[in-house]
Chains A and B, each alone.
Chain A
Amino acid sequence: MELLNPEIAAANIGPLFAGLVMTIELTFVVILLSLVFALLVALGGMSRFRPLRWLVKAYIEAIRGTPLLLQLIYIYYVLPEIGIRLNSFVAGVIALTLNYSAYLSEVYRGGIQAISKGQHDAAAALGMTSGLAMRRIILPQAVRIVIPALGNYFIALFKDTALCSVISIQEVVFTAQIIAARNFQYFTLYTIVGIMYFTVSFPAARLVGYLERRMRAGYRRKLR
């Protein structure tokens, strides 16, 4: 058995790289959407309006209680039966955003609740309404606290996009599968795919580690 075959690698690196670009695109679109959507979910979960809190709770439990793979399949294959037909990229983005937002909203909630009562009191005593206090005082501090946790979730998301191969988004794993079905060069192809994932994840994880250290250093004029 030939291990990493350089000719096979050279011949297929182009399409695999295009697959990686799709993987990264998918990741970034979902990051942007879920950053915003998860915050809305978190705020909804803390709303004074009880039905909204219940709705948020039901959504989070439903997502956490079922596999991401099933959620992907459901949105892509089952929704068309009730007349909602989505292309695979859109279906993948929706499934991943819904899934990750459920977890990220809990991260946000933790960050918001970590801000002391004294901060709320001080803002209120200065005449800020609760909305203004949330926007100007609580959220900026909470977001900073949760940045490392968000970063770790986004690295996990980057890898989870591989599941989108089942709904035939042409990301890197799907691309490798298609090529392998033709030439049976599993070892070479999947090794390259593994290296590609690692080449992105590893520096990203280091960046998260750096952000975490910076965050722990506190608020200073000169951040080191």
Chain B
Amino acid sequence: MTDAPSMIEIEGLHKHFGSLHVLRGIDLRVAKGEVICIIGPSGSGKSTLLRCINHLEVAEAGRIRIDGQTVYRDEVNGSMRSHSNRAISAVRAQVGMVFQQFNLFPHLTVIGNIIEAPVHVLRRPKDEARRRALELLAQVGLSDKVDAYPEELSGGQQQRAAIARALAMDPKAMLFDEATSALDPELVAEVLTVMRDLASRGMTMVVVTHEMNFARQVAARVIFMDHGQIVEEGEPRAIFGAPREPRTREFLRTVLDR
């Protein structure tokens, strides 16, 4: 994977919340078509890292490149200059994100949710956006829920609709922040199946998850984070089979021996 071109490159990322140093120098590279899973204890900064990748949180230091382009800000003569809001939005339009709480738009139907951004951000014609939305709904198994409102759906169905909504932008990469953590146990599998399917279609994915089996089976690389740093990374076999770092071992012991 290492010689494939990069989709996401992060260098020296730092983020504070007030006096709390949440990301302490993150370096991470995700190749095109690669699936990585980020694991780690609560509060280790996993969500914050994902949110920095699409600028929902603003890192104070460090550089992010997406598909070769430096995004969100540039260094000009030694000082940082932020990109315009419009430029930032344009980058976000190329990176899909799936949230723990789904965050579907409750006032729009399922198809309304999916065509909203293609029509109003990408300015695609409505019928073309609808056609693509119906394909995506078939892909995530929601062809019978096209005109339903989000609150008429189960959690698993809502999350699959949210995935379809992100995919409708034809993103270069997808970020998943604990996409299954808010779901009843019996609904987790249907969402993981959709994510697996997406991985097999070659989507670049950064997945924050507590589903260790998913990480083991789908990820090309697993990243273990603790206290705002990447403590250890490697192939799932190595991380789960023979973790080098004591902190990784301890974390895996707590999550696997429940």
Contacts and interface: CB of A to CB of B under 8 A. Distances in A.
Given A126-B117, A128-B89, A221-B147, A140 B107 contact: yes
Interface in A190-224: 218-221
Contacts, number: 82
Contact of A126 (B85, B106, B152, B166): B166
B147 A119 contact: no
B120 to A, nearest CB: 6
Contacts of B51: 121
Interface string B112-153: 000011001110000000000000000000000001111110
Interface in B70-122: 85-86, 89-97, 99, 101, 103-107, 116-117, 120-122
Interface residues of B, number: 36
Contacts of B162: 122
A86 to B, nearest CB: 40
A108 B101 CA distance: 25
Contact of A125 (B54, B86, B122): B54
A187 to B, nearest CB: 51
A136 B116 contact: yes
Nearest to A218: B151
B89 A122 contact: no
A119 B117 contact: no
A9 to B, nearest CB: 49
B53 to A, nearest CB: 10
A219 B151 contact: yes
A127 to B, nearest CB: 3
Interface in A112-145: 116, 118-119, 121-130, 132, 136-137, 140-141, 144
B105 A137 contact: yes
Given A126-B93, A129-B89, A121 B165 contact: no
B54 A136 contact: no
B121 A127 contact: yes
B169 interface: yes
Contacts of B255: none
Given A221-B147, A221-B152, A127 B92 contact: yes
B106 A219 contact: yes
B99 A122 contact: yes
28 contacts: A118-B103, A119-B103, A119-B105, A121-B97, A121-B99, A122-B97, A122-B99, A122-B105, A124-B89, A125-B95, A126-B93, A126-B165, A126-B169, A127-B89, A127-B91, A127-B121, A128-B89, A128-B117, A129-B89, A130-B85, A132-B120, A136-B120, A137-B105, A218-B149, A219-B106, A219-B149, A220-B149, A221-B152
Given A121-B56, A218-B151, 10 more contacts: A121-B99, A122-B103, A124-B54, A127-B92, A127-B169, A128-B89, A137-B105, A219-B106, A219-B149, A220-B149
Interface of A: 116, 118-119, 121-130, 132, 136-137, 140-141, 144, 218-221
